[in-house]
Structure 1
Amino acid sequence: MTRKVPCEEVMTPIITDEGLCYSFNIYDVRDIYSDTNTMQYLEEGRRQIDWTPDEGYRKHTNIEDMYPRRAFLSGLQNSFTATFYTDKRDLNYGCRDFSLQGIRVSLDTATKIPRPSQIFFSVGLDKLTTAAVTPRLTQTSTKIKHYSPEKRNCFFNTEKKLRFFRYYSQLNCNFECWTNYTKAQCGCVNFYMPKDNETRVCSLGKRFCLEDARLSYTQDILRERLKSAGSVKYGNKTTECNCLPLCSDLTYSAELSTSDWDFANSDDANIDEDREDFSNSRITKYQHGFS
């Protein structure tokens, strides 16, 4: 089933907390964020969605046109492989995390906005990285639905609505809570955060406030969780959170292996520029099983 395609045909540009990233198999951001969100999107088109967290894939869907794309078999022969070329002139060792030169990779379901500053594994320059991915499905019987979410310590899919997201998840909830907290502290939000028409994006002059908000939010979240409260306070303002996990959720874990890539002797290097001017990374991802 080997087929080579240009990355722009299968990768979607998306703004994250690490800036511009590219995602494979993610929902269109318009189907992740709600209509309340007024941030500008990078793509004009909108894909037809054939899968939902509650119902899975639609029946009678053409396999070739199915989106998100699905793996029909496990194992390396049915893997997804991406090759990245990095111009050495673009490497900046003065960046925030100068020790990490390469690519950050996040794994999650199609309905969640990636957080590569928080949850990721790295693919180094001139390295071959293979990820054996194991999906983990958590299911909870609806027989306990009559208990309160606080007592069962989880939400069913339709129980909690978020303002900026169409689908509830603990990750999306925490992101929205952090956004509200940042607005309460700085009067604006970071460029990658959702916002409404009455909220502005912070200018460069607010960078220290944004960093202080990030640090204090983490501390306040921990403090309120220890108190078993569902809100986070900043000054005289309270930001409602209560970001419990989903009662039924799909997550992924990856077992990684890495080796050096002798790109100079690679048969499939197909770029016009001098190879010596490039560092190169390759990641192969395949489904290992299901648990």
Structure 2
Amino acid sequence: MLRDGNQSLSILLKEYSKHCTLHGVHYVFRDDASFIERSIWLSIIFLCFICASLLVNTMWVRFSLAPTVTVVKDTHLPLHLFPFPAITICPNNKIKKSIALKYISRYLNISDDNNLKQALHFLNVLSLFQHPYYSRMFEHLDQCADILPSLQDINVTDLMIQVLPACSELFLECSWHGKPDNCCELFSMQRSEEGFCYSFNSMTSEKLNQCELELSSLDNKDSNEIIGYEDMDCVLRRNTAAGTATGMEVFVKQIDPNESLPDQIDVTGISGVRVQVHHVTEYPEAGMGYLVPAQHGLKMSATIKPSLTQSTEAIRHLSIYERNCYFADEKKLGISKSYTEKSCLIECRLQYLHEVCGCRPYYFNMRDSSVHVCNSTELKCVADHSVELRFFSPPTGILRGFEGTEMFSPLNCSDCLPTCHENMYDIDSDLVMDSMPMSQSSFGYLDIYYKNEGAVKYQRDVTFGWIDLLVSFGGIAGLFLGFSLLSIVEFIYWTIKVCCFIFQYEKQTSQSKKIKIFAEELTRNIPSSRPPGPAPNYFY
């Protein structure tokens, strides 16, 4: 019976090989094939299987390591389809001495020369209270250590707002699209890690801050759909032209030198303004931008070359780890309603300061209202942790190029990823003497405009979707083995058939063994009916 079962199983396998759609299999099991012929065909099938497996693995690695691809979608995207970039102007001297001393006199007797001297050092500390230069506060903190407890109740935010040079004191004249306009309507106060500044067309400014949520909800749409967004006070200005005097023009005044703090040049640099061009949803980055000294007849020309990168909806279906970016509605921040990588890094630093010093710098509001502004006695703690705020720990597992201590930096901002929709601005600036200065009152002329009439648009899409990956696998398997989905169905069918045969065969074999054992037991236990003694002779 075992031989019969093996013969039947062999017949099934031969029948499968005869009808199998995989190339070359039937040559291996052909009845008239010699051993050499079978070996050759088996080797060819095995070699094709190895080649197909290598190519499948290559496609899988490519899918895993590079799930997205960025391609140029448009080389001349019209300028009016997206907002003009935000322009932030920060005065180097953010403190008017007379107003600051008058404010401090409420808490300290500054008629005393020693107190006055220490009060000026305290104002220098506040001038340096900006990232990444917190450590520079040490020198002046030591010089005013005696009065710090007396100034502990000062509302630093209120103080810095009041002593900030007013808009009318900073700007002489502004033009937008070549038409004169009110500077103080174009620019509004801007919070940044550099302190209080003034911004144009910024959704993070005090004027347009409430509109960030609406804009972030539109970030996932195509730029053609954003153009219709004109909601009352939440209007982002746009431009259609390129070239000098077609964008934003600003004439800057010189701040009264008598209002400067002692050693102002040694503390915050020469008198003038720092100009930064950035995306409308981003906060200006501290320490960046272009310094324009307060000099009569000096002109700064800044040409903007914008580029946009948009991600398709297919990117959203990838995990955050695979695409390495956030959509605007996927992550919420405490300092901004619209997510950007720079805003996330700012919040990361603010949270670290809260953890180690129990307070936040004066220039940012946090969603958690329980976090108070750092007072005079807590400034030293901020200065102590200045170096830690400049560098955050790299991703786990990356060791080369980093010292051991750097791998475990206390500042961890690894969850601050780029946005899936990015707007980049390539800025070319030039400082020259203006050949046609406006007037003797102008101490700096800024001309910020688009360089070209169009922008470059990039599109980030999925390199291989699951359907593309399946088609690639199927093509490779079909090329080398003639494999298809029907081959899988066929293999499953014959596998089930063989399993059923083996099950039935084992069942029959088991039943036959049981019957044989039962018969043997029955024969052994049946008593003989013949009486004892010699057998009777029936033939006589």
User: If the TM-score is normalised by the length of the shorter chain, which range does it land in?
Assistant: 0.7 to 0.9
TM-score relative to the length of structure 2: 0.43
* Structure 1 residues 175-186: aligned runs within 5 Å: 175-186=346-357
Which consecutive unaligned segments of at least 5 residues does structure 2 have?
1-176, 399-407, 457-540
Question: Equivalents in 2 of 1:71, 1:160: separation in Å?
Answer: 30
* Structure 1 residues 64-75: aligned runs within 5 Å: 67-75=235-243
Shift of 1:122: 1.6
2:376 to 201, 204, 207: 204
TM-score relative to the length of structure 1: 0.76
SS of the aligned residue for 2:191 comes to: strand
Matched, 1:24 2:194: no
Question: Equivalents in 1 of 2:181, 2:208: separation in Å?
Answer: 25
| Higher percent of residues as helix | 2
Matched, 1:124 2:293: yes
Shift of 1:61: 4.7
Match of 2:246 in 1: 78
2:271 to 87, 97, 101: 101
**Residues 81 and 284, structure 1, Cα contact 8 Å, conserved in 2:** yes
Question: Equivalents in 2 of 1:124, 1:227: separation in Å?
Answer: 45
Judge which range, 169-178 or 16-25, deviates more.
16-25
For residues 125 and 61 of structure 1, do their structure 2 counterparts lie closer, same or farther at Cα, with a shift above 3 Å needed? same
Question: Equivalents in 1 of 2:206, 2:234: separation in Å?
Answer: 18
Shift of 1:227: 4.5
Judge which range, 182-191 or 119-128, deviates more.
119-128
Question: Equivalents in 1 of 2:254, 2:319: separation in Å?
Answer: 51
Question: Equivalents in 2 of 1:152, 1:24: separation in Å?
Answer: 33
Match of 1:280 in 2: 443
**Residues 133 and 254, structure 1, Cα contact 8 Å, conserved in 2:** yes
Alignment size in residue pairs: 260
Match of 1:53 in 2: 219
Shift of 1:240: 6.5
* Structure 1 residues 140-179: aligned runs within 5 Å: 140-179=311-350
For residues 215 and 32 of structure 1, do their structure 2 counterparts lie closer, same or farther at Cα, with a shift above 3 Å needed? farther
Shift of 1:88: 5.0
Question: Equivalents in 1 of 2:273, 2:229: separation in Å?
Answer: 37
Question: Equivalents in 2 of 1:190, 1:96: separation in Å?
Answer: 23
Q: Which amino acid letter does the alignment assign opposite residue 73 of structure 1?
A: A
Which consecutive unaligned segments of at least 5 residues does structure 1 have?
34-45, 270-274
1:8 to 163, 184, 191: 184
Deviations 1:202-250 (A, max 9, x none): 012222211233321223x1x243657xxx874xxx8665001011111
**Residues 300 and 432, structure 2, Cα contact 8 Å, conserved in 1:** yes
2:430 to 235, 251, 257: 257
| Higher percent of residues as strand | 1
Judge which range, 89-98 or 125-134, deviates more.
89-98
Judge which range, 89-98 or 202-211, deviates more.
89-98
For residues 118 and 202 of structure 1, do their structure 2 counterparts lie closer, same or farther at Cα, with a shift above 3 Å needed? same
**What percentage of residue pairs aligned between the two structures are identical?**
22
Q: Which amino acid letter does the alignment assign opposite residue 204 of structure 1?
A: S
Match of 1:243 in 2: 416
Please give the root-mean-square deviation of Cα atoms over the aligned residues, in Å: 3.3
For residues 146 and 2 of structure 1, do their structure 2 counterparts lie closer, same or farther at Cα, with a shift above 3 Å needed? closer
Q: Highest CA radius of gyration, 1 or 2?
A: 2
Question: Equivalents in 2 of 1:50, 1:146: separation in Å?
Answer: 22
Matched, 1:139 2:310: yes
Shift of 1:100: 4.3
Shift of 1:138: 1.7
Query: Which structure exhibits the higher relative contact order, with contacts defined as CA atoms closer than 8 Å and separated by 6 or more residues?
Result: 1
